Amino acid sequence: MMTAKSIRRNLYKVLRKTGVPRNLIAEEAQLKNELFVDDVDMTCFLYYLETKFKVNVKNEEIAQLVSVRSTIDYLQRHCA
């Protein structure tokens, strides 16, 4: 089981790999509006997320990932 701290740290690494500037990453930040994640970035983000956390995000679950906080919540539910 991953701790909340390790999920947060690894998620920040995934966001940085996706091209999000470090100074914009905050728990309350919205992926599209504040971190400027477009459809291409989202594809990269999902790839890195699935690889780093060894999860499989289903298409119908992608809509749940709207902010850093919602992504952390999702990972806490799905990372064993």
Distance CA 58, CA 23 (A): 29
pLDDT digits (tens, 9 = 90+) for 9-66: 999 999 999 999 999 999 999 999 999 999 999 999 999 999 999 999 999 999 999 9
Position 2 confidence tier, pLDDT thresholds 50, 70, 90: confident
The pTM for the full model equals 0.92
Is the pLDDT at 6 greater than 80, yes or no? yes
When divided into structural domains, the chain yields a total of 1
Determine the structural domain holding residue 20 and report its residue range. Answer: 4-78
DSSP state of 22: G
The pLDDT assigned to 75 comes to 96
The pLDDT assigned to 79 comes to 84
Helices (H), 1-80: 4-18, 39-53, 68-78
Q: What's 9's domain CATH number?
A: 1.10.1200.10
